[in-house]
Amino acid sequence: QVQLTESGGGAVQAGGSLQLSCAASGGTFRQSTVAWFRQAPGSAREFVAGIFRNTGRTSYTDSVKGRFTMSRDNAKNTMYLQMNNLKPEDTALYSCAIGSRLILSTMRSDSAYDYWGQGTQVTVSS
């Protein structure tokens, strides 16, 4: 059983920065695809960024490219999401996820992931 614990959310003004962390316990973090998703009130959960398990390929949704950077530290079983130049539309509950069997073409689909964190709130004011 894998447990994921996020931290680093909070409230910032537009243009500010936050770094989210997600620590994993149990499972095989190094061999897993890791990702961040977000969900705003009244909206569906949205893929934000992910790192594919085999190639280390990083993928971002278009709206965060150039502003967000995802990374992972396999020695610490931790993934990160550095968020710069935050905008009010980035306001959401951010959740980390791990999947050990998904293929590259499904990396943006939340149904492909096996384990989820509880979520951390990010609020950006204008």
Q: How far apart are CA 87 and CA 123, in angstroms?
A: 9
Integer Rg of the chain from CA: 13
- The first and second tokens of residue 110, run together, are 């939340």
Q: Which amino acid is at 30?
A: R
DSSP conformation letters of 48-113: EEEE-TTT--EEE-GGGTTTEEEEEETTTTEEEEEE-S--GGG-EEEEEEEESS--GGGTT-GGG-
Tens-digit pLDDT profile for residues 2-19: 999 999 999 999 999 999
**φ and ψ at residue 84, rounded to 5 degrees:** -115, 160
Tens-digit pLDDT profile for residues 48-89: 999 998 788 999 999 999 999 999 999 999 999 999 999 999
DSSP single-letter state for residue 46: E
Q: How far apart are CA 116 and CA 110, in angstroms?
A: 10
- 101 confidence band (pLDDT: 50, 70, 90): confident
